[in-house]
Amino acid sequence: MDRRYFLNYSAITAAYLLAGCEERSGREEGKARQAVSDFPAAVPPQKAEEKLPEQIMPFTQKLKIPGEIDFAQIKKAALTAQKSQVNIFPDMQTEVLTFQGDLPNPTIRIKKGEVFDLDFMNNLADPTIIHWHGLIVPEEMDGHPKDAIATGATKQYRYPIEQSAGTFWYHTHPHGRTGEEIYRGLAGFYMIEDEEEKRLNLPQGEFELPLMIQDKRFDEKRQLRYKDPKVPQDNNGLLGDVILVNATPFPYHEVKSGKYRLRILNASSVRTYQLAFDTIREFALVGTDAGLLETPVMVQSVVLSVAERVDIIVDFKDKEVGDRVTLKTLGFKEGSNLTLHPDYPAFDAPMDIMQFHVTEKILDTQVLPEKLIPIPRLQASDAVNTRRITMEIIAGGIWTLDQKPFDMHRVDQRVKLGSTEIWEIKNSVHMAHPFHIHGVRFQVLDRDGKIAFPTDKGWKDTVIVMPFETVRIIVHFTMPGLFVYHCHILEHEDQAMMANLLVE
């Protein structure tokens, strides 16, 4: 299939659109699922002058692999939020925000039982703070927006790692600017390891890849574009047309014909992805936000909303040297019926993300374990209280939780330390929302919608709530303090869709 990418310079928008059939993520009764390769794609006509220059053609730039801050080798680390000039594209530098002067930002790797110790300096023009997304840490270490530090100030983070292995991430979290700061670069991976995971002998080293996916907009000078002030739909969420993986546009990565562990993070502003491969029919889902599953789940695609992570095992054993496998999003029509920026691919637009180029044939004898880790199941009968949180828009088009715009100092929910509760997250608008709670991990009890998400089977810290759906989660509160919970569509949380939770 010939996929062409082109840039309309008059509108400064890349119009990468594939028209064709779409695999629905719902498992509707009586409808057979189709293989990914069954979906044809046609390319709309384009003018010659709209073609993307050769140096920006997809699958011509090699995937960047983040460096690591490994606490097995150091005792103390440092990060500095700063403006930087980096080569996202080879022909021109782009002004971004970084933690160490370049992108992608370093991956933090640490073992359960070790102490995390890091000094964070803010060299930005505005106050900011780092949130360790998915980690259960003391209130003063969590990165609440109220704790943002001033320009030129330094904050010391020091806390023990007491939770199980998983794929987490870190990003800045100032109120009203989180979206733009993450968009411009301030995010990175945070990997926790433990002995239980190590015994499983999952793919590691060169066979383990962190993949941070973000869709962005660039102008003709390769500079990032954020909100368009002339398009109010950008307040509903920022869509882009150029997909970066580890700060590399439409990259490729060379692989051998064996199993690879892909740790995938959706760090986009609003876009939900339905991830699949064009010539690999199935792959194994082995982990979600806060750790591994009990058993691998074979899937043909997986839905990943903003801030969610998946841990998957992809096997290239049937591929020959010279073969190419494309990771793509099939489009996610169920995600939103609201109009976002009309010049950029919508949620339901299929898009290529990156390619894997098979360069070596190997004998891979590694076997994926049938059992991973036990997950103690929280029972609804353990809950001492049930709360309902409603996602909605109020007058003026303001995104809120329970019709209350975020107040930095108002306590919205009080919870008893050590208690277990059921939270019913009700979505009252025609747009899917990823719901995130700081300071906890939780399990999904059930959802009243039509889609069965395999990612609901594991520990979570972020859950997608479909339009007009109610999702019930069960939470055990183990960390005292003031934490926030919010929609993780970045423009929504920046606006007002956030609230305070006090565990006491």
CATH at residue 191: 2.60.40.420
**Per the domain annotation, does 373 fall within a domain?**
no
Judged against a pLDDT cut of 90, whether residue 10 lies above it is answered with no
Q: What are phi and psi of 49, to 5 degrees?
A: -75, -5
DSSP assignment of 28-92 equals -TT-PPPPGGG--EE-----GGGBPPGGG-TT-SBPP---EEETTT-S-EEEEEEEEEEEEETTE
Q: What is the pTM of this model?
A: 0.89
Judged against a pLDDT cut of 50, whether residue 144 lies above it is answered with yes
Domain end position, chosen among 360, 389, 413: 360
Tell me, yes or no, whether 346 and 396 share the same domain: no
Task: Give the pLDDT mean for 101-128.
Answer: 98
Tell me, yes or no, whether 210 and 328 share the same domain: yes
Report the percent of the chain where pLDDT is more than 90.
Answer: 82
Tell me, yes or no, whether 32 and 122 share the same domain: no
Any idea what the Cα angle at residue 216 is, between residues 184 and 118, rounded to 5°?
30
d(CA 261, CA 474): 29
**Per the domain annotation, does 174 fall within a domain?**
yes
What was the pLDDT predicted at 56?
64
d(CA 347, CA 250): 18
**Per the domain annotation, does 2 fall within a domain?**
no
Task: Give the pLDDT mean for 410-425.
Answer: 98
**Per the domain annotation, does 130 fall within a domain?**
yes
- Looking up tokens 């022909």, which residue turns up? 91
Where is average pLDDT lowest: 28-42, 74-88, 257-271, 439-453?
Answer: 28-42
> Residues 367-379: pLDDT tens digits?
999 999 999 999 9
Tell me, yes or no, whether 186 and 73 share the same domain: yes
**Per the domain annotation, does 375 fall within a domain?**
no
Task: Give the pLDDT mean for 443-454.
Answer: 92
d(CA 397, CA 232): 10
259-266 and 208-216 as β-strands: parallel, antiparallel, unpaired? parallel
Domain end position, chosen among 161, 196, 231: 196
Tell me, yes or no, whether 329 and 258 share the same domain: yes
The total of structural domains in the chain comes to 3
Average pLDDT of the chain? Answer: 89
Tell me, yes or no, whether 166 and 296 share the same domain: no
Tell me, yes or no, whether 296 and 226 share the same domain: yes
DSSP assignment of 394-456 equals ETTTEEEETTB---TT---EEE-TT-EEEEEEEE-SSB-EEEEETT--EEEEEESSS---GGG
**Per the domain annotation, does 92 fall within a domain?**
yes
What was the pLDDT predicted at 31?
32
Tell me, yes or no, whether 222 and 292 share the same domain: yes
Tell me, yes or no, whether 226 and 298 share the same domain: yes
**Per the domain annotation, does 349 fall within a domain?**
yes
Task: Give the pLDDT mean for 70-74.
Answer: 96
Q: Which domain holds residue 392?
A: 380-503
Tell me, yes or no, whether 165 and 302 share the same domain: no
Following CA atoms 493, 494, 500, 501 in sequence, which dihedral angle do they give, to the nearest 10 degrees? 40
Query: What is the pLDDT confidence band of residue 335, given thresholds at 50, 70 and 90?
Result: confident
d(CA 192, CA 287): 13
Tell me, yes or no, whether 186 and 260 share the same domain: no
Domain end position, chosen among 139, 166, 196: 196
> Residues 238-288: pLDDT tens digits?
999 999 999 999 999 999 999 999 999 999 999 999 999 999 999 999 999
Query: What is the pLDDT confidence band of residue 8, given thresholds at 50, 70 and 90?
Result: very low
Where is average pLDDT lowest: 27-31, 66-70, 172-176, 213-217?
Answer: 27-31
Cis status of the peptide bond prior to 405, with omega within 30 of 0: no
Tell me, yes or no, whether 79 and 135 share the same domain: yes
What was the pLDDT predicted at 44?
33
Judged against a pLDDT cut of 90, whether residue 85 lies above it is answered with yes
**Per the domain annotation, does 374 fall within a domain?**
no
